[in-house]
Amino acid sequence: MTRLSSRATAVTLTLAGALLLSACEQQSDSSPAAQQQPAPKVGIVTLSTQSYTLTSELPGRTAAYRVAEVRPQVNGIIQKRLFKEGSDVKANQQLYQIDPALYQANLKSAEASLLAARSLANRYKKLVEERAVSRQQYDDANANRLQAEAALERAKIEQRYTRVLAPISGRIGRSSASEGALVSNGQAQELAVIQQLDPIYVDVTQSANDLLRLRRELEAGQLEKAGDTAAQVTLKLQDNSPYPHTGTLEFSEVSVDESTGSVTLRAVFPNPDNLLLPGMFVHASLVNGVQSQAILAPQQGITRNPKGEPTAMVVNADNVVEARNLKAERTVGDRWLVTEGLESGDRIITEGIQFVRPGVTVDPYPAGNIKGSDTATPDAANQAQ
């Protein structure tokens, strides 16, 4: 009786343990940790190609359209200065008056010499016909007449040069000589400098490597010529304000600067208000070409890997995250111009990117942190999926 009681007790304990273990397993299976986690939500933007005009922002400096250094062409004392420093002058306007007394006397002497030489030549002309003088004497008299005419013309020119005239129209700077100063023909120091400011040149420098890359892209068909806008240039002034007038590209230098490895490009701008002055630092925007199938990716979706390379997280057709290595050349506003790594129709993650990794299945929705996104509506997001 005692043996049967002990065996019944053992069976009862075994059954109780099995029931307890089964209850624990059921409770473990129903815990939240054991349940499947929902797919993380991420905001996406569907990329599409668009036409983009490629421009280059280049530093430059302004230069006068024409520069004329005013110098005396005869010797003498300056009697008058006939302009106001810093004012605008016209071409052929008189700037200085050099004492003309000596040159007026030379002019009268040259006139007298010509009169005598001409009279002698006319007299010998009749006498040589009568063979009263030799042919040689007549030829010498005629040569003296020609020399006297040349001397008279020179005397007139020198007298005219006593009136120092402006060679071009423009703005004249300070005068280096005042009344009473002695000046001479061929002196190193100019009397004044005149600069034409309207229009005005802007000289910008572009890397020779960039120039070669643009030419290769044009030849390969990656870039198209910009057409009528190809030669147009816009400016930003030193205070970052836009210049109101558009310029035209004139030419590019035919050689590369050995010290900087750059090529100089020259543009001409209208300057009716003289806002641009020679020597000012500016930023010029030049049109390089047009990409008809450009990919502009939001900056919020572009990150950098440990190597510093641009990367993006893309949701594929199965809603699985993929990592893409990109080639992004430049920023365009709040977007990156991507030339490799992304295609039209790719869904790039811009929200929740820090919570996902490659290979994870996600639940995408239209991103709300991108302005002008074409996936800003649920319908667009559903179509993208």
Each residue's pLDDT tens digit, 318-365? 999 999 999 887 787 788 888 888 889 999 999 988 888 899 999 899
CATH no., domain 108-152: 1.10.287.470
| Higher-confidence position of 28 and 358 | 358
Q: Nearest-5° angle of CA 223, CA 227, CA 230?
A: 80
Q: What is the pLDDT of residue 229?
A: 52
For the chain, domain boundaries = 41-53+293-384, 55-64+200-290, 108-152
CATH no., domain 41-53+293-384: 2.40.420.20
Q: What is the pLDDT of residue 208?
A: 78
Provide, rounded to the nearest whole percent, the portion of the chain with pLDDT above 70.
82
Of the listed ranges 67-76, 106-115, 120-129, the one predicted with least confidence: 120-129
The stretch 20-46 carries a mean pLDDT of 63
Query: What confidence tier does 220 reach under pLDDT thresholds 50, 70, 90?
Result: low
123-133 residue pLDDT tens: 888 888 878 88
pTM as predicted: 0.65
Q: Count the residues in the chain.
A: 385
Phi, psi of 101 (to 5 degrees): -55, -50
d(Cα 351, Cα 42) in Å, to the nearest integer? 5
Q: Is the pLDDT of residue 2 over 50?
A: no
The stretch 134-161 carries a mean pLDDT of 92
d(Cα 163, Cα 167) in Å, to the nearest integer? 12
In CATH, the architecture of 55-64+200-290 is: Beta Barrel (2.40)
Phi, psi of 45 (to 5 degrees): -130, 125
Task: Establish whether the linkage from the previous residue to 244 is cis, with ω within 30° of 0.
Answer: no
Q: Is the pLDDT of residue 378 over 50?
A: no
Average pLDDT score over the chain: 82
Q: What is the pLDDT of residue 28?
A: 45
d(Cα 313, Cα 106) in Å, to the nearest integer? 91
Please check whether the two domains, 55-64+200-290 and 108-152, share a CATH topology.
Answer: no
Query: What confidence tier does 56 reach under pLDDT thresholds 50, 70, 90?
Result: confident
Phi, psi of 252 (to 5 degrees): -120, 150
